């Protein structure tokens, strides 16, 4: 047989002869080497256990190095005349060592096994290392590798240098032989390990002596020298020890802060975000000691609010700047880190008066810290919940808060470089400043929706009572999910009730509770009596209709946030300009409707109608603007 490109491996293969009246030999046609073995057995021959090829029925011998052309000869001593109990055939072949396990059964019939694996030696070209290295263009061994002679004696092959691992034939450093960082695994260093190309070095911290190796002198503190010096200058020694201790402690703290910084996504995600958005204002990175000083070491008296995931503290920065500092309760959780980074990325893209402003963050602590502008009047929930605020505030203020919030959400959906879905719109996430201006907050669960996608699929996240039914059931998130949540906030504003209340029969959802009066014509019975009066009954009804559209089960039937914001601003404009023709008649109608609603409360039903009218208004330039309500009548 002749092999053109490869040689038979003399270390991985064996020449094997099977039979009971046979002798076989193999000759290397490129040399004078010949080897073989012979076999003879009878019915009285005792065979060894299966798997043994030791000369009884089967014999094996080694092959010469670098054999490529060979000839196998197989003969019989007595022409198989004495073979009675066995197959009168002999077999001779080359096979991978241990791939053929001999048994007595093989003497009966080996013809069914016509193929055996053979291992060949692989090498680069036919040159030796010294010859191959003369031609740099054809030399196969790349950087950080070395040449080794082929085991067959023909050609060469490449291996990575000690301390490197990879593909020695690849010129790309990322795929070729790369340095192994021995410091990450077991090594001989007792204290400090320094990785170098192909190796590593050990050293001792400052103040210690030794070579730094476990099997060498190690790292030892110079106790003897210090003891001798104590008698000469105890104060000096004390100072030196204190400095060393302080230095080691500071280094440990610095290393810990660096670890927290990376753990909280500092180097990778924040810097990546800032490179992608150079046109946005850079988020300030606060040091831990700055925020500790601002909150009096996070004193309990500075707590503004406390949720399931974080606590918010009031802080005072230099210059008497009031801030709100959000501190996560648990550190190291991958989801919290993801939400923390997400909130930084989202808020850094938004510049809107009705969105709480992110001033910066702190990344060198175990738990993440976010620093916001201080919004002093709490949340919208604090004002509309009857259990928290009995008097609440006027309908005009509620309507303005709703319009401000809608404008902020519309800005997220339509006016940012990448549309943003807040995913957790609720009254507890709407903050109020000293003028009761609304500011949307808590963007930890927000998601960016790329321009080429109108929706994304995510794990369900949000607050019970505010969740979009479509999103809840199929995980499909888009801008209409925020519209639904805002619709629930509108229902809270006009009814003063919670999104979900529990009684003996289970949870009672505000959207279901509100739907029945709308259909039965008894809307005025469920409106918040703290704000309902003759002057705003029509606005309340219009907002009720808008809220009803926002919380429709089918997301496609809901309006966009831009349409919602425009409609709410239109209602405010109507209120500000007393230009309604036939105002007396409208007032009389409102009085009649309101009086009818109050009188019908005990009966359990109330129905009112809004007649179709055309209102005309004049703006500051005296240009007439028309507002129309569709013809026909609306039943409440």
pLDDT tens string 365-412 = 777 788 999 998 888 988 887 776 666 788 999 999 999 999 999 998
Report if residue 244 sits inside a domain. no
CA distances (Å), origin 165, targets 157, 185, 195: 15, 15, 15
pLDDT band with cut points at 50, 70 and 90 for residue 98 = confident
Shared-domain flag, residues 316 and 447: no
> What CATH number has the domain bearing residue 290?
3.30.200.20
pLDDT band with cut points at 50, 70 and 90 for residue 104 = confident
Look at residue 427 and tell me whether its pLDDT is greater than 60. Answer: yes
- What local confidence, expressed as pLDDT, does residue 64 receive? 87
165 versus 111: which is more confidently predicted? 165
Helix axes 537-550, 583-599, angle to 10 degrees: 70
Look at residue 316 and tell me whether its pLDDT is greater than 90. Answer: yes
Which of 137, 122, 200 has its CA nearest to residue 171? 137
Shared-domain flag, residues 417 and 516: yes
Shared-domain flag, residues 423 and 313: no
Shared-domain flag, residues 399 and 428: yes
Shared-domain flag, residues 368 and 506: no
- What local confidence, expressed as pLDDT, does residue 404 receive? 95
Shared-domain flag, residues 526 and 503: yes
Boundary of a domain, candidates 161, 179, 197 = 179
- What local confidence, expressed as pLDDT, does residue 254 receive? 65
Percentage of the chain beyond pLDDT 70 is 75
438 versus 222: which is more confidently predicted? 438
pLDDT band with cut points at 50, 70 and 90 for residue 268 = low
- What local confidence, expressed as pLDDT, does residue 392 receive? 74
Q: What are phi and psi of 75, to 5 degrees?
A: -135, 170
Mean pLDDT of the chain: 78
Boundary of a domain, candidates 86, 101, 121 = 121
Percentage of the chain beyond pLDDT 90 is 28
Report if residue 521 sits inside a domain. yes
Q: How far apart are CA 113 and CA 382, in angstroms?
A: 86
Q: What is the pLDDT averaged over residues 302-315?
A: 84
In terms of C-beta density within 10 A (0-12 exposed, 13-18 middle, 19 or more buried), how is residue 224 classed? Answer: exposed
* Prediction pTM value: 0.50
Q: 477 and 454 in contact (C-beta within 8 Å)?
A: no
What are the tens digits of pLDDT across the range 197-218? 889 999 998 888 889 998 888 8
Which of 92, 94, 30, 95 has its CA nearest to residue 67? 30
Report if residue 617 sits inside a domain. no
Look at residue 146 and tell me whether its pLDDT is greater than 60. Answer: yes
- What local confidence, expressed as pLDDT, does residue 333 receive? 58
Report if residue 76 sits inside a domain. yes
pLDDT band with cut points at 50, 70 and 90 for residue 604 = very low
631 versus 580: which is more confidently predicted? 580
Report if residue 461 sits inside a domain. yes
Boundary of a domain, candidates 528, 549, 578 = 578
Shared-domain flag, residues 11 and 138: no
pLDDT band with cut points at 50, 70 and 90 for residue 620 = very low
Q: What is the pLDDT averaged over residues 221-247?
A: 75
Q: 371 and 360 in contact (C-beta within 8 Å)?
A: yes
> What CATH number has the domain bearing residue 424?
1.10.510.10
Q: 620 and 577 in contact (C-beta within 8 Å)?
A: no
pLDDT band with cut points at 50, 70 and 90 for residue 615 = very low
Q: How far apart are the first and last CA of the chain?
A: 99
Shared-domain flag, residues 452 and 504: yes
pLDDT band with cut points at 50, 70 and 90 for residue 291 = very high
For residue 296, what are the contacts with CB-CB under 8 A and spacing of at least 6? 302
Shared-domain flag, residues 364 and 382: no
pLDDT band with cut points at 50, 70 and 90 for residue 616 = very low
CA distances (Å), origin 355, targets 11, 375, 411: 75, 11, 9
- What local confidence, expressed as pLDDT, does residue 100 receive? 86
Token pair 């790292």 is found at 219
Active-site residue numbers?
424
pLDDT band with cut points at 50, 70 and 90 for residue 458 = low
Report if residue 469 sits inside a domain. yes
- Total of domains in the chain: 4
What are the tens digits of pLDDT across the range 499-531? 988 876 778 888 888 888 877 778 888 888 888
Report if residue 606 sits inside a domain. no
Region of poorest pLDDT, from 55-59, 316-320, 427-431: 55-59
- What local confidence, expressed as pLDDT, does residue 270 receive? 54
Region of poorest pLDDT, from 127-136, 569-578, 596-605: 596-605
- What local confidence, expressed as pLDDT, does residue 588 receive? 41
Shared-domain flag, residues 398 and 532: yes
Shared-domain flag, residues 402 and 459: yes
Q: How far apart are CA 290 and CA 286, in angstroms?
A: 7
Two tokens, residue 523 = 């809307």
What is the extent of the structural domain holding 162? 129-179
Region of poorest pLDDT, from 317-331, 449-463, 539-553: 449-463
- What local confidence, expressed as pLDDT, does residue 602 receive? 30
Q: What is the pLDDT averaged over residues 219-246?
A: 75
Report if residue 600 sits inside a domain. no
User: How many CB atoms are located within 10 Å of the residue 314 CB?
Assistant: 19
Look at residue 262 and tell me whether its pLDDT is greater than 80. Answer: no
Q: What is the pLDDT averaged over residues 142-154?
A: 86
Region of poorest pLDDT, from 14-18, 42-46, 72-76: 42-46
Shared-domain flag, residues 461 and 401: yes
3-state DSSP call for residue 178? strand
């Amino acid at each position: 047989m002749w092999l053109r490109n490869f040689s038979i491996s003399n270390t991985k293969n064996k020449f094997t002869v099977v039979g009971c009246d046979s002798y076989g030999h193999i000759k290397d046609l490129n040399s004078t080497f010949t080897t073989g073995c012979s076999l003879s057995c009878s019915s009285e021959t005792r065979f060894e256990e299966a798997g043994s090829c030791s000369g009884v029925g089967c014999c094996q011998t080694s092959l010469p190095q670098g054999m490529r052309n060979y000839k196998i000869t197989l003969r019989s001593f007595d022409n198989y005349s004495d073979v009675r109990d066995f197959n009168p055939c002999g077999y001779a072949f080359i096979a991978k060592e241990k791939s053929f396990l001999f048994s007595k059964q093989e003497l009966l019939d080996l013809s069914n096994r016509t193929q055996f694996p053979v291992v060949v030696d692989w090498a680069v070209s036919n040159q030796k290392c010294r010859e191959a290295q003369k031609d740099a263009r054809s030399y196969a061994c790349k950087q950080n590798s070395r040449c080794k002679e082929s085991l067959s004696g023909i050609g060469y092959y490449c291996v990575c240098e000690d301390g490197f691992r990879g593909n020695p034939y690849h010129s790309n450093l990322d795929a070729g032989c790369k340095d192994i960082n021995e410091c990450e695994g077991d090594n001989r260093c007792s204290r400090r390990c320094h990785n170098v190309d192909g190796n590593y070095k050990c050293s001792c911290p400052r103040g210690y002596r030794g070579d730094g190796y476990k099997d060498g002198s190690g790292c030892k503190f110079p106790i003897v020298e210090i003891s001798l010096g104590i008698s000469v200058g105890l104060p000096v020694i004390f100072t030196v020890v204190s400095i060393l201790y302080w230095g080691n402690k500071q280094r440990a703290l610095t290393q810990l802060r660096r670890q927290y910084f990376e753990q909280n996504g500092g180097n990778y995600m924040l810097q990546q975000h800032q490179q992608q958005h150079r046109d946005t204002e850079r988020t300030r990175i606060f040091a831990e000691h700055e925020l500790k000083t601002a909150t009096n070491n996070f004193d309990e008296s500075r707590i503004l609010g406390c949720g399931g995931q974080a606590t918010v503290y009031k802080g005072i920065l230099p210059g008497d700047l009031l801030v709100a500092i959000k501190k996560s309760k648990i550190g190291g959780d991958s989801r919290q880190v993801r939400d923390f980074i997400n909130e930084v990325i989202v808020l850094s893209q938004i510049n809107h008066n009705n969105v709480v402003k992110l001033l910066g963050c702190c990344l060198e602590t175990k738990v993440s810290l976010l620093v916001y502008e201080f919004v002093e009047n709490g949340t919208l929930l604090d004002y509309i919940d009857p259990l928290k605020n009995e008097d609440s505030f006027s309908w005009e203020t509620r309507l303005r808060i709703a319009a401000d919030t809608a404008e902020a959400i519309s800005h997220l959906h339509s006016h940012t470089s990448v549309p943003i879905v807040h995913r957790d719109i609720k009254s507890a996430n709407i903050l109020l400043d000293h003028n009761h201006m609304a500011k949307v907050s808590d963007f930890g669960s927000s998601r960016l929706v790329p321009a080429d996608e109108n929706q994304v699929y995510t794990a369900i996240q949000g607050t019970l009572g505010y969740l979009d039914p479509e999103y809840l059931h199929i995980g499909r998130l888009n801008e209409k999910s925020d519209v639904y949540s805002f619709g629930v906030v509108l229902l809270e504003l006009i009814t003063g009730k919670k999104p979900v209340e529990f009684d003996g029969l289970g949870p009672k959802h505000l959207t279901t509770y509100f739907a029945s009066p709308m259909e039965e014509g008894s809307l005025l019975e469920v409106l918040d009596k703290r704000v309902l009066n003759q002057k705003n009954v029509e606005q309340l009804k219009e907002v009720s209709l808008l809220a009803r559209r926002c919380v429709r089960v089918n997301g496609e039937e809901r309006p966009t946030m831009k349409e919602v914001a425009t409609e709410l601003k239109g209602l405010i404009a109507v209120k500000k300009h007393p230009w309604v023709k036939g105002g007396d008649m409208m007032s009389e109608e409102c009085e009649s409707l309101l009086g009818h609603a109050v009188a019908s409360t005990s009966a359990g039903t109330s129905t009112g109608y809004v007649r179709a009218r055309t209102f005309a208004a004049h703006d500051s330039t005296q240009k007439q603007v028309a507002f129309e309500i569709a013809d026909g009548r609306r039943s409440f």
